[in-house]
């Protein structure tokens, strides 16, 4: 197996990779619904200002979605993993949704749901609830016109416009009353996006949960599920137990997803996870084992991925996309480590080195020779010689 030099906290040390893990092929239907929030691949050769301009490699971007579908994953499109609102604007998100939905139509068994939010509306102090409602209506209409399912994303503008918790109930009630099919509501915590602090009208998550549950219960027929991204398993379980029976809990907890998906005597979580993008082969195999009733194999496969995920999603959590894309580069799903908005620069050399080691330990370097060669090139640009 290949050996390369990697930095550690105490200096440079030789590291020898392991053989990749041969994850068994698994096909849905699984006993859990599993969405992978997918990243986008930019065009690194575009003559533009990469911090400001958007130029997407559509072929590679859609090819990655086909990879996820081939493993039985559903795709959560144009979400924060795709750098929505953090490099990807609504104009390009709309095009991404259109292309992804079109690709799904030609792929047997492919499932895609797409983010609809208000990110084309500037979140200023002067924004009103009516502005937020119109913005949601515009994006929901665009997703439905494309033939897609809706993931109703949290709104930065709503945080600015809302003066009390009832304002959230008003906005969500209005939008849910209009959608054609049940949606997934996404409660994205402030650790993922600081502009969403105080969502549902409360800084305290448990009080905010009261408002969210009220909004869902009042419109249960229009809610397929809720994705909670608070990185706190106890809060997710507490909310899961309060939901109407018809409403799914989609875990967005990239720290504790294995045990939340496995569940307990009172229930379990389905999944809508950014980490399922880079660990899709392991996630598919683990879900296949769980579907067969083999919980031990489920944990044997998924357990080693958890330290990797906790590292990728470590604070500042909003920079997790860098690790997701880096692993896609190492595994050959794109030919470069370039991201929208120059986000490849948001993690340190030590962080990337530890990511490599943890991915290797989880058996997720699909071709250790290729991954090591690419790792050496990235390390060389950061002053670490092979």
Q: Dihedrals φ, ψ of 337, to 5°?
A: -110, 75
Residue environment code for 43-61, b if the CB has 16+ CB neighbours within 10 A, otherwise e: beeeeeebeeebebbbebb
pLDDT tens across 88-103, in order? 999 999 999 999 999 9
Look at residue 385 in the predicted model and tell me its pLDDT: 84
Residue linked to tokens 């030099």? 5
Quote the Cα angle for 366-369-373, to 5°: 115
pLDDT tens across 307-334, in order? 999 999 999 999 999 999 999 999 999 9
Instruction: Could you please state the CATH topology (level 3) that the domain comprising 22-297 is classified under.
Output: TIM Barrel (3.20.20)
Residue range 173-183: average pLDDT? 98
Question: Please, which contacts does 282-285 make with residues 24 or more away whose CB atoms are closer than 8 Å?
Answer: 282/21, 282/23, 282/362, 282/363, 282/364, 283/34, 283/36, 283/71, 283/73, 284/23, 284/25, 284/26, 284/34, 284/71, 284/72, 284/73, 285/23, 285/24, 285/25, 285/26
Look at residue 27 in the predicted model and tell me its pLDDT: 86
- Comparing CA positions, the residue from 23, 21, 31 lying closest to residue 271 is 31
pLDDT tens across 10-27, in order? 999 999 999 999 999 898
Q: Read off the tokens for 348.
A: 């340190």
Instruction: Say yes or no to pLDDT of 386 above 90.
Output: no
Domain segments of the chain: what residues? 1-20+304-386, 22-297
pLDDT tens across 18-58, in order? 999 999 989 899 999 999 999 999 999 999 998 899 999 99
Q: What percentage of the chain exceeds 70 in pLDDT?
A: 100
Average pLDDT, the chain: 97
- Confidence category of residue 149, pLDDT binned at 50, 70, 90: very high
Number of other residues whose CB lies within 10 A of the CB of residue 107: 14
Residue linked to tokens 């580069």? 329
Look at residue 50 in the predicted model and tell me its pLDDT: 87
Residue range 48-72: average pLDDT? 96
Say what the pTM is: 0.96
Residue environment code for 295-327, b if the CB has 16+ CB neighbours within 10 A, otherwise e: eebbbebbebbbebbebbbeeebbbbbbbbbbb
Sorted by sequence, the CB contacts under 8 Å of residue 47 that are 6+ apart come out as none
């Amino acid at each position: 197996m290949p050996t390369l030099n990697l930095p550690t906290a105490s200096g440079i040390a030789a590291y020898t990779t392991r053989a990749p893990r041969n994850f068994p092929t698994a096909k849905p239907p699984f006993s859990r619904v599993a969405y992978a929030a997918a990243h986008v691949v930019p065009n690194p050769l575009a003559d533009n200002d990469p911090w400001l301009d958007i130029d997407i490699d559509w072929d590679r971007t859609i090819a990655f979605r086909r990879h996820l579908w081939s493993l039985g994953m559903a795709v959560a499109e144009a979400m924060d993993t795709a750098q929505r609102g953090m490099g990807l604007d609504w104009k390009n998100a709309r095009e991404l949704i259109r292309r992804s939905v079109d690709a799904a139509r030609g792929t047997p068994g492919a499932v895609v749901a797409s983010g609809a939010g208000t990110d084309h509306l500037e979140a200023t102090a002067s924004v009103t609830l009516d502005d937020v409602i119109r913005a949601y209506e515009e994006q929901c209409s665009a997703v439905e016109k494309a033939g897609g399912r809706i993931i109703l994303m949290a709104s930065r503008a709503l945080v600015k416009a809302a003066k009390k918790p009832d304002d959230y109930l008003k906005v969500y009630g209005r939008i849910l009353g209009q959608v054609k099919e049940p949606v997934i509501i996404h409660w994205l915590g402030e650790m993922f996006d600081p502009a969403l602090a105080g969502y549902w009208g409360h800084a305290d998550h448990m009080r905010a949960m009261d408002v969210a549950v009220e909004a869902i219960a009042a419109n249960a027929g229009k809610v397929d599920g809720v994705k909670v991204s608070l990185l706190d398993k106890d809060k997710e379980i507490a909310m899961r137990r309060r939901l109407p029976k018809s409403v799914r809990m989609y875990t967005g907890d990239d720290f504790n997803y294995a045990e939340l998906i496995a569940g307990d005597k009172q229930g379990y979580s389905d999944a809508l996870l950014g980490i399922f993008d880079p660990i899709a082969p392991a996630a598919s195999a683990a879900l296949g084992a769980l579907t067969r009733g083999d919980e031990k194999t489920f944990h044997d496969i998924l357990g080693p991925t958890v330290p990797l995920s906790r590292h990728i999603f470590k604070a500042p959590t909003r920079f997790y996309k860098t690790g997701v894309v880096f692993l896609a580069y190492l595994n050959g799903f794109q030919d470069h480590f370039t991201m929208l908005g120059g986000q490849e620069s948001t993690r340190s050399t030590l962080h990337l080195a530890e990511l490599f080691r943890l991915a290797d330990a989880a058996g997720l370097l699909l071709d250790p020779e290729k991954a090591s060669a690419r790792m050496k090139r990235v390390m060389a640009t950061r002053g670490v010689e092979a």
